[in-house]
Copies of this chain bind each other. A is one copy, B any other.
Amino acid sequence: MDKSFLDKITAKWDEGKFVCVGLDKGEFEFDKTIIDQTFDLVCAYKPQSAFYEAGGSAGLEDLKKTIDYIHQNHPDIPVILDAKRGDIGNTNEIYAKAIFDDLGADAVTVSPYLGKESLEPFLKRADKGIIVLVKTSNPGAGEFQDLQVEDPERSRMGKPLYQIIAQHIADNWNTNNNCAVVVGATYPEELKKVREIVGEMPILVPGIGAQGGDLEDTIKNGLNSKKQGIIISSSRGIIFAPDPRQAALKLHQDIKKLL
Do B140 and A151 have beta carbons less than 8 Å apart? no
Do A161 and B158 have beta carbons less than 8 Å apart? no
Pick from A28-36, A107-115, A196-204, A224-232 the stretch touching chain B.
A107-115
Question: What is the count of identical protomers in the complex?
Answer: 2
Residues of B within 8 A of A161 (CB): 144, 147, 149, 161
CB-contact partner of A61 in B57, B98, B116, under 8 A:
B57
Query: Known: A141-B114, A147-B149, A148-B149. Is A102-B54 also a contact (CB below 8 A)?
Result: yes
The 0/1 profile, CB within 8 Å of B marked 1, for residues 84-95 of chain A is 111111011011
The 0/1 profile, CB within 8 Å of B marked 1, for residues 38-69 of chain A is 00000000001011011011111100100000
Per the CB 8 Å criterion, the residue count for chain A at the interface is 58
A–B Cβ pairs within 8 angstroms, 14 of them? A51-B94, A56-B61, A57-B57, A57-B64, A60-B60, A84-B86, A84-B87, A88-B138, A113-B144, A117-B139, A143-B168, A144-B161, A144-B165, A149-B149
> Ordered nearest first, which 4 A-B pairs have the shortest CB separation?
A117-B140, A115-B143, A57-B57, A115-B140
